[in-house]
Amino acid sequence: MEASLADPTIKPLIESNYVVATLDVMERPEKKNLENPGSLEVMTKLKGEKSGLPFWVVLDAKGKILGDSQVRPLGASLATYGINFGCPASPDEVAFFTKLLKATSKLNDEHLSVIAKRFALNSPAPAVQPVTPATPTSPATVGSK
């Protein structure tokens, strides 16, 4: 998520509409010293402690949650835990993300398209299927009934 937001193709768009703050949280024991003090408490307050990483949230200037990286059942409030998709990559995730950006910023459709294209680069390449050689047929079986 951090690398995507820092990409020069979208960084100015993001920074002209949002204040991005990154908290280090839930580090492995050998990297616990990298965590921001109080970061887990912040994540818990924002309903992200069960979500996994990365978890992101969009807040208004007063700290009200406008949206986050959790997909919830239709009609469920932001207080309801959802399924975290983390860094947008799949077409559905990118659409979810850009819809939230559109609702919470002054980004226009052209800007959102640039952002969507950048996040689509996060999608893993399709798995290459091994080529299976065709099974040879004998002349006796071709066209036989």
Length of the chain, please?
Answer: 145
Tell me: pLDDT of 18 over 50: yes
Per-residue pLDDT, averaged over 86-112, amounts to 97
SS3 9: coil
Please report the DSSP string for 93-142 in residue order: HHHHHHHHHHHHS---HHHHHHHHHHHHTTSPPPPPPPPPPPPP--TTTT
pTM: 0.81
124 — pLDDT class (breaks 50, 70, 90): confident
Question: Rounded to whole angstroms, how far apart are CA atoms 56 and 49?
Answer: 11
Q: What is the mean pLDDT of the chain?
A: 90
